[in-house]
Structure 1
Amino acid sequence: MSTALAPATVPAPAPAPGSAPASARAPRPELRPHLLAEAASLLVSALLSCTWLVVSVSMLVTGFSALPAALSGLLLLVPWVIAMRWAAAFERRRARAVHGVDVVRPAHRVSDRPGAGGWLHTLALDSISWQFWRSVLHHHLTMALSAIPALVALIALWAAWTAGELAIIGAPLDLGPVHAGRGLQLLAAVLLLLVALPAIAGGALAERGLARVMLPSTDDSLRSEVAELSQRRQGAVDAAEQERLRIERDLHDGVQPRLVALAMTLGLARSRLQSDPDRAGALIDEAHAEAKAVITDLRELARGIHPAVLTDRGLDPALSALAARSPVPVDLHVAVPERLGREQEAVAYFVVSEALTNIAKHAGASRARVDAVLARPERVLHVRIEDDGRGGAAVHHDGISTGLAGLTDRVRAAGGHLEVSSPAGGPTVLTASLPIPTPAPIPTPKER
C-alpha cells in the first residue's frame, strides 16, 4: 500500500491583490527563553531521569530482545513507540514555550490503509524514520544530561540550607581540626549558593542548546521542502520526457506511415486520372477513407494528451469513457464528489488510462476493477486498478517500456506516490495516492 507525506506546515492562502502580505499583517511573535521556567524544566528532566529514563530504556531493550520469541516484543515496542511520539510532541512544546526555540513538527509519512491496520502501519513508518529516532535521542539525552547539574545544584542547596540554619541557631560546627563559627557558616552558605546557581544556569543552557541542535527547526523544514520540491521537479522533467517519447512513438509508428501511404495513394490517383478514371476514382475513395482514419488516430492522440471530457465534465465522466472503450470489461467505482485541480485530475486519468492499456495489451486479464476515492479529511485521492491477469508488471526506465515509468514520474511530479504490486501469476494492483490541495475560500463582496 502507498503512503502519503503529511506536511509540517499548511500554507496560508495568497493575499488579495494590493493587500499587504500575511507576514506584514500578523508578525510572528518573538520567542524568548524564561530563566525560571528553564530552571524548573531542568529539575523536571532530572526527576524523569530517575524514573522514566530507566523505564523507557528497559522497555526498548526488553522489546528488542523478545522479538525472536514469536514477535512478543511488539507488546512492549508498540506502547514504547506511542510513548515516544507523545514525548517528542512534549519536547517540541517545551522547547518553544520554555527555551524560546522555534521548532516545527517534522513531516511524516501516513498510511492510507483504513482502520487499525493503517494506524499500526503509520506507527511502523514512524519507527523507521530518522526524525523519530532523532527525537528519541534528544528526549533521552535531555533527561540524562540534566541529572548531573541538577544533582550538583540540589546537593549545594541542601548544604547551603544546612549551613545557614546552623548559623541562625548559633550551633557550632567542627570539621576535624577546623572550627566553623557563625561567620564561616554564613560564608559557606553563600559560597554554596553561588555553586548551585551556576549549576542550574549551566544545565538550563545545555538543555536549550540541545533543543536548538536536535529538534526540527524552520531551517530543517525548509530544507525538507526544498528536497521534496527537487524530487517533484525531477519527476515532472522525467514525466515530460516520457510523454515526449510516447507521442514520438505514436506519431512515428502510427500516424506517419499512414500519412505516407495516403500521399502515395493520392499520387497514384493523380497519375491515372487521365488514363484510367475509374481506377483513379477508386484510389481517391480509398484515400478519403484513409484520411478519415488518420483524423481518428490524431483525435485519439490528442485525447491521450488531455481529453476534452476531462476538462469539461470532470474525472467521473472521463473515467467512465475510458472504461467504456476498454476491450477488457471494467468494474468502475468513483467517489469524487467535487472537481479537483486540473493537474490532479489529469494525473489520475492517465494512471487509469495507461493501466487499462497495459491490461489490454500485456496482462491477459478477463476483468479489471478501477476505484477512485477522495479520502477526507486528509484530502488524498486514492486510485486503485486491479486485474486478474498473469502479473509480472514492473517499472523500467529503459526508454522502451516506458508506461509504468511515466506513470511513476507523473504521480511523483504531482506530489503523490505510486506503488505496483504484480507477483507472477497475478493479480496486478496499481495504487496511486495524490494529495489534493484545499480549495481557496470564496471571497466575500467586501473582500472583492
Structure 2
Amino acid sequence: MTDSLTGHGDRPRPRLSPASIASVAVGGLLLCTWFWVSMALLVAGISTLPALGSGLLLLLPWLLLMQLIARIERRRAVAIHGLRVILPAQRRSRRRGAAGWLQNRWYELGTGAFWRGVLHHHLAILVTGLFFLAFVALLWCGWKGAEISLVHGPVELGSRELSRVALAVLASVSVLLAAVMLGLGALADRGLARVLISGSEDDLREQVAELAERRQGAVDAAAQERLRIERDLHDGVQPRLVTLAMTLSIARSAIRADPDRAERLVGDAHAEAKAVMTDLRQLARGIHPAVLTDRGLDAALSALAARSRIPVGLEVDLSTAEGPVLDREREAVAYFVVAEALTNIAKHAGATRAEVTVTRGPEVLHVRIRDDGRGGARVHRDGLSTGLAGLTDRVRATGGVLELSSPPGVGTDLHAEIPLTSGPTADRALARPTTEETSR
C-alpha cells in the first residue's frame, strides 16, 4: 500500500528553522566520519564480489543499515522540513517470523523509494557537509580578522596597509557569509528531500496499481459470492421448490377423488414449504447474517461457534478504544472468514477442536482460526474448491492480507489482518496468493 507522512497537521513549516540549521551541522560531522565509512563499505563490497562472493559480507550489512537510514531520512524530512512524504506500494511477505522479515528486506531492495533514500542520504551529507565546512572556514576567518584587528592593529599586505576598521569589516563580512552558508545548507537539504524522498509520479503510478489490485480483489470476491448463491439456489432451493409444486399439483388432482390422500399431500407440502423457508434463511445468512447487524460481531461469532459440529474455543476482544470504528463491511469480512474456516474444518480437516481468536488493534483487526486436524490446506482457483480463494479476495478488497499455514499432519492456522481504515496503511502492500487450495 501507500502511506503519507505529514508533520503536525500538515501545516507548512518555515524553510529555515533551528532544527534545519542544526541538521547542517550534523551533516558536516557525518561528512568527516560516516560518509567515508559508508562509501568504503560499498566500494569494498562491490570490488570483492568476484572473490567467491565474499563482498556480500560487507554489502549485506550495508544494505540492511541503508534500509534503516532510509526510514530515518523520511522521518527527518517530516520532522524538520514539514514535507509530505509518500511511501510507495511494496510487496509484503506472506510468511511469518525470520523468513518473512528477510523476504520483506529483499522486496524493499527492489523499490525505487529505497534507492532514492540511499542517494538522498549520501547527497544530503555531502552537500550540507560542504556548506558546514564553508561555514567553519568563514567563521575562522572572521575570528582571526577580529583577533588581528584588536590585538595586532593594522596589517601590511604587500604595498597596502589594512587598518583596524578594514580588518573589522572583513571579519564582519566573513561572519555574515558564514551565517549565509548555514542558511543555504538548510535550503539545499530541504530541496534534496523534496526532490528525492517526498514522492513522485512513480509513487502515484504505484498507488494506482495498488488500487487496481484491491478493486480486482473486490470483483473476484463478488464473482465468487454470485457463483455460490447460484450454486445454492440451483442445487438446494430450486429442486425443493419443484418438488413442492409437484406435491401441490398431485394434491389438487386428488382433492375430490381421495380427500385423505390430498390432505396428507398438503401436509407434506406445508412441511416442505417450511423447509424451503429455512434454506432461504440460511442462504440469506450467507449474504449478510441478521445477527451481525442486530447484535454485532461478537454475538454473530458466538452463534457460529454454537452451530459448529466440532467444539470451538472462541475469544473475541474488540475493546480497544483507540483507532477508527469497526464498520459493517469489516465486520462482515471477519464473520465470513470465521464461517468459511469452520465449514472447511468440519468438512475436510478431521479435527477434534478449533480455536477462534479475534482481537482488535489500533489500526488492524486480527482474525485467527486454528485446528488440530490433518492440515494440507491450500488456496486454489480451479473452480472446484474455491472457498479460501474467495476469502482471500474478500480480505484483499479491504486492503488486508490472508495468511495460511497448514503443514500436513500438524493442523491449519488461518490468519487474516483486516485494516480498520479504507485509506492506505504504512509499510504494507498486498501480493496475489501464490499457493493453491486442495482438499484436506
TM-score between both structures, scaled by the size of structure 2: 0.71
Say whether residues 1:334 and 2:320 are aligned partners: no
Tell me how far 1:249 sits from its aligned partner.
1.5
Structure 2: gaps of 5 or more residues: 320-324, 422-440
1:252 maps to 234
Mapped to 1, the partners of 2:5 and 2:355 lie a distance apart of 33
The residue aligned with 1:360 is 346
Q: How far 1:351 sits from its partner (Å)?
A: 0.5
Question: What CA distance in whole angstroms lies between the structure 2 residues aligned with 1:193 and 1:348?
Answer: 65
Q: Secondary structure at the match of 1:393?
A: coil
Deviation at 1:229, TM superposition (A): 5.6
Question: How far off its partner does 1:27 sit?
Answer: 8.8
- Whether 1:294 and 2:276 are equivalent positions in the alignment is yes
Identity, % of aligned pairs?
Answer: 47
- What is the deviation of 1:285? 3.5
Question: Which of residues 343, 364, 368 is equivalent to 1:383?
Answer: 368
Cα distance, 1:300 vs structure 2: 1.0
Q: Is the 8 A contact 2:42 2:59 kept in 1?
A: no
- Residues 161-193 of structure 1, C-alpha deviation per residue, up to 9 Å, x if partnerless? 6677667644444xxxxx363359969989988
- Structure 1: which amino acid aligns with 2:403? E
Tell me the distance in 1 between the aligned counterparts of 2:270 and 2:303: 28
Structure 1 window deviating more from structure 2 (150-159 vs 55-64): it is: 55-64
Q: 3-state DSSP class of the match of 2:314?
A: strand
Residues in 2 aligned to 1:119 and 1:108: alpha-carbon distance in whole angstroms: 22
1:21-32 to 2 correspondences below 5 Å: 29-32=11-14
Q: Which residue of the partner structure matches residue 250 of structure 2?
A: 268
Query: Residue by residue, what CA displacement relative to the aligned partner does 1:85-120 show, whole Å, maximum 9, x if unpaired?
Result: 773366225532xxxx433585899x999xxx9799
Name the CA distance, whole Å, in 2 between partners of 1:334 and 1:392. 23
For the Cα contact (< 8 Å) 1:236–1:409, is it kept in 2? Answer: yes
Match of 2:72 among 67, 87, 99: 87
**In the alignment, what sits opposite 1:19?**
none
Cα distance 1:78–1:141, how it changes in 2: closer, same or farther (>3 A)?
Answer: closer
AA at the equivalent of 1:80: L
Deviation at 1:278, TM superposition (A): 4.6
* Conserved 8 A contact 1:104-1:221: no
Structure 1: runs of 5 or more not aligned? 11-25, 174-178, 438-448
| Structural RMSD (CA) | 4.9
**What letter corresponds to residue 338 of structure 2 in structure 1?**
V
Match of 2:379 among 394, 407, 413: 394
CA offsets, 1:62-95, max 9 Å, x none? 99999989x9889957983696277336622553
Q: Deviations over 1:173-220 (max 9, x none)?
A: 4xxxxx363359969989988986776555443322101112336999
Give the count of matched residue pairs: 403
Q: Note if 1:431 corresponds to 2:415.
A: yes
Match of 2:335 in 1: 349
Query: Residues 347-397 of structure 1: CA distance to partner in whole angstroms, max 9, x if unpaired?
Result: 111111111222333x2423342322324455533333435134142142x
More displaced 10-residue stretch of structure 1: 163-172 or 308-317:
163-172
Does the aligned pair in 2 maintain the 1:417–1:434 contact within 8 Å? yes
Task: Work out which of the residue numbers 368, 375, 388 in structure 2 matches 1:404.
Answer: 388
1:251 Cα deviation after fit: 0.7
> Are 1:348 and 1:383, in contact at CA under 8 Å, matched by a contact in 2?
no
Counterpart Cα distance in 2 of 1:92 and 1:404 = 42
Letter in 2 for 1:314: G
Q: Which residue of 1 aligns with 2:437?
A: none
Q: Which of residues 187, 195, 204 is equivalent to 1:205?
A: 187
Q: Secondary structure at the match of 2:350?
A: coil
Partner AA of 1:261 in structure 2: T
Q: Distance in 1 between matches of 2:4 and 2:15?
A: 24
1:145 aligns with 2:127: yes
